[in-house]
Amino acid sequence: MLEATNEADDQYSVESTLMPWSRRSLLSLAILLTASSAFATPGVDELVVQLKGGNDFRVRVSAALQLGKSLTGDAVAPLAAALDDPHASVRAAAAAALKNLGDQDALEVLKAHRADKSEAVRAQVASAIASLDEERTTGQKTKVLVKIGIMKNESGVKSKKFESELADSSRRKLSQLPGVRVLAGDGTAKPGKVPMVMVTGNISELKASREGRSIVYSASVEYVLHTMPEQSIAAKVSGRASATASEQEAGDASKVAELRRSVLEAAIASALRRAPPALLAAARL
């Protein structure tokens, strides 16, 4: 039996809490790119020049991805042109960037590239088309941009995979919330009309305890929502879930691993069900 409970506690802070920035590597389209806040992001015009004339395809890929984060309509036309770039990685990056921009003007040109010779490009184009089609059909407008911040595992269970699972599941579930767009990659974007909120997370509990002849697996997660660009704490939401297993099931390593994943996923869902009003509060809407 899997049980989940919401434990949300919206907290508003008058003090600015600066969260440490860290170097993160973005594995995208089979290319490893490294971004650091120590270097200024090029302007849109410079990125367009790099996208059109960069001799190294990696320069063009980087320019395309950064244009996708610029959230400006001026990036649509050069990205659309990059869908015909001779290198598949650049074409895929352009499709991913157009998806992130969310501009309906890109829909027709994306549809014209559905038969790209590269399977990876076709997948990126299909994903972008599906996202833009859904937005057009539902008429849903982006109200809040979400930057995924640091995800920690402080449960005492030593495993980096839980941090990855927390980050991946959080990104997926936040993306499903109405009016929310989760920024790709390192989440950098130029200031615009749509407010941005940074979400950091922590697995505070991931344990097993005995209750009679059964073993109870439980997980607790907490998210902190930060205003941007100040990065002050605006709200917190938390969730908890548990699952019961027999002694026989608890002796099966594969079943235990699946139970831990299940309760963690349920705890994340429990917390993020209360996220929408907290996101709007953090975005000052």
pLDDT of residue 192: 63
Per-residue pLDDT averaged across 51-61, rounded?
93
Q: Are residues 151 and 12 in the same domain?
A: yes
pLDDT-based confidence at 102, cuts 50/70/90? confident
Residue 31 belongs to a domain: no
Is 80 exceeded by the pLDDT of residue 98?
yes
Q: Are residues 146 and 271 in the same domain?
A: yes
Q: Are residues 103 and 225 in the same domain?
A: no
pLDDT-based confidence at 188, cuts 50/70/90? low
Residue 278 belongs to a domain: yes
pLDDT of residue 140: 63
Q: Please say whether the beta carbons of 13 and 227 come within 8 A.
A: no
Residue 219 belongs to a domain: yes
Q: Are residues 262 and 149 in the same domain?
A: yes
Q: At 166, phi and psi to the nearest 5?
A: -65, -45
Per-residue pLDDT averaged across 113-127, rounded?
94
Q: What is the domain extent for residue 159? A: 2-20+142-282
pTM as predicted:
0.55
pLDDT of residue 229: 87
Residue 72 belongs to a domain: yes
Is 50 exceeded by the pLDDT of residue 22?
no
Q: Where are the beta strands (DSSP E) in 157-247?
A: 180-182, 196-211, 214-227, 233-246
- Paired residues of 210 in beta bridges: 215
Q: Where would I find the H helices in 102-186?
A: 107-111, 119-138, 160-175
Is 70 exceeded by the pLDDT of residue 154?
yes
